């Protein structure tokens, strides 16, 4: 009985080893790839945003500066729009007046 048991036991561990050798290596490669991907994913955001974080000045300064620039821009835009409207209106009116004068001159 002992001999039969000992004879039957050793092949099973070998089979188990073969199975363990055949199946785990591919998962280990996949796991290593996944780990690398995860590491890359973790690294990217840090690397991506460091320069932005460095570039941002103190919050108070940023707030005040943003407000000032926005106001200046809006004021400039408003002024430019008013000027362009005035110019357009003046241009149209002047053209109409000139055309009417020309017509009057031609009719005379």
Any idea where the domains of the chain sit in the sequence? 62-107
pLDDT at residue 17 greater than cutoff 50: no
Cα separation, 12 vs 62, whole angstroms: 71
- State the DSSP string of 42-106: HHHHHHHHHHHHHH---HHHHHHHHHHHHHHHHHHHHHHHHHHHHHHHHHHHHHHHHHHHHHHHH
The yes-or-no verdict on residue 18 having pLDDT over 70 is no
| Top mean-pLDDT range of 1-10, 11-20, 52-61, 74-83 | 74-83
Question: Residue 21: its pLDDT value, please?
Answer: 47
* Close Cβ partners of 57 (under 8 Å, ≥ 6 residues apart): 65
**How far is 91 from 95, CA to CA, in rounded Å?**
6
Over 60: is that where the pLDDT of 106 sits? yes
The answer, yes or no, to whether residue 19 has pLDDT greater than 50, is: no
- CA–CA gap between residue 57 and residue 63 (Å, rounded): 10
Q: Is the pTM of this model over 0.85?
A: no
Q: How confident is the model at residue 39 (pLDDT cuts 50, 70, 90)?
A: low
Cα–Cα distance for residue pair 101/106, rounded to 1 Å: 9
Q: What is the mean pLDDT of residues 52-80?
A: 67
Average pLDDT value over all residues in the chain: 62
């Amino acid at each position: 009985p002992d001999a039969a048991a000992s004879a039957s036991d050793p092949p099973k561990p070998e089979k188990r080893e073969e199975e363990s050798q055949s199946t785990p290596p591919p998962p280990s490669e996949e796991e290593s790839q996944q780990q690398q991907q995860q590491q890359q994913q973790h690294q990217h955001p840090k690397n991506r945003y460091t320069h932005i974080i460095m570039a941002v000045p103190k919050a108070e300064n940023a707030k005040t500066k943003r407000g000032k620039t926005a106001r200046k821009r809006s004021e400039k835009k408003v002024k430019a729009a008013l000027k362009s409207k005035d110019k357009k209106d003046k241009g149209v009116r002047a053209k109409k007046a000139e055309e009417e004068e020309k017509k009057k001159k031609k009719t005379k």
